[in-house]
Amino acid sequence: MHGEFKVPKGKLVVVDLEVDGDALRDVRLTGDFFLYPDEALEPLTASLEGASAGEEEATYEQLISEAVPEGAELLGFSPRAIAVAVVRAQRQGATEVTDA
């Protein structure tokens, strides 16, 4: 599943993930944002790994916010932007496309 969120006057946040049962798996966070130090990316994605699927943005935002390492800088994006992309990814995955 693939979700994107373009932060107004900010950067693009992209989340790719799988849903296994009712849990998020294989979460990958990319985009054109800046994150210092680079090692801060791992705790952000780890915070979502195994999280319940189908949650509201606020739930994911809280998980991500709590995982931001002390001193890390998120430039051009926020935990909320990641949460929006996570929800969008799940909505995209739930949408069945058919030819009319």
Q: Is position 57 within any domain?
A: yes
Residue 38: which CATH number? 3.30.390.50
Which residue, among 90, 20, 94, 36, has the nearest Cα to 60 in the 3D structure? Answer: 90
Distance between CA atoms of residues 70 and 16, nearest Å: 25
Residue-wise pLDDT for 42-100, tens only, equals 999 999 999 999 999 999 999 999 999 999 999 999 999 999 999 999 998 654 433 33
pTM of the full structure = 0.90
Q: Is position 99 within any domain?
A: no
Distance between CA atoms of residues 31 and 22, nearest Å: 26
Q: Is position 100 within any domain?
A: no
Total count of domains within the chain = 1
Range of the domain at 87: 2-94
Q: Is position 62 within any domain?
A: yes
- Give me the residues paired with residue 83 across strands: none
Q: Is position 63 within any domain?
A: yes
